[in-house]
Amino acid sequence: MAVETIFSKIIRREVPADIVYQDDLVTAFRDIEPQAPIHILIIPNIFIATINDVKPEHEQTLGHMIIVAAKIAKQESIVYDGYRLIMNCNQHSGQEVFHIHMHLVGGHHLGPLLTKNE
């Protein structure tokens, strides 16, 4: 039985989203609460809850997510200044939707990825 998430509905276009790319393997859309001028989520069209659930048969889809990220970065004119790709796994990382997704963020200087826990 397939698990239903908000991302499943976006893939099927049952929920409105600003989709910037879609093919047989992945869908990419603008984040509704952007953390940078460019903040796009890239998701596999198949359900995978977390990185811990990735199987060898998902390799093509996950690799394709990176290819699509580079294509979108070029399309958004951030390829030369730089951008960040982020994937979170489970609650301590900040994963909110349990359907894996890659954040493509850029459009200004992003600063350090992590700060020290003091």
**Per-position pLDDT tens, the chain of length 118:** 467 899 999 999 999 999 999 999 999 999 999 999 999 999 999 999 999 999 999 999 999 999 999 999 999 999 999 999 999 999 888 888 999 999 999 999 888 876 666 5
Domain 6-24+31-106 has CATH 3.30.428.10: yes
Taking the C-alpha atoms of residue 10 and residue 16, their distance in angstroms, rounded to an integer, is 7
The residue ranges of every structural domain in the chain are 6-24+31-106
Please report the pLDDT score of residue 1 as a whole number: 41
State how far the alpha carbon of 105 is from the alpha carbons of 32, 37, 39, 47, 72, in Å. Answer: 13, 8, 4, 23, 11
Q: Mind giving me the DSSP string for 16-57?
A: ---EEEE-SSEEEEE-SS-SSSEEEEEEESS---SGGG--GG
Please report the pLDDT score of residue 93 as a whole number: 86
Please report the pLDDT score of residue 116 as a whole number: 64
Full-model pTM? 0.91
Catalytic residues: 101
Please report the pLDDT score of residue 28 as a whole number: 98
Please report the pLDDT score of residue 30 as a whole number: 98
Q: Mind giving me the DSSP string for 61-78?
A: HHHHHHHHHHHHHHHTT-
Taking the C-alpha atoms of residue 63 and residue 55, their distance in angstroms, rounded to an integer, is 13
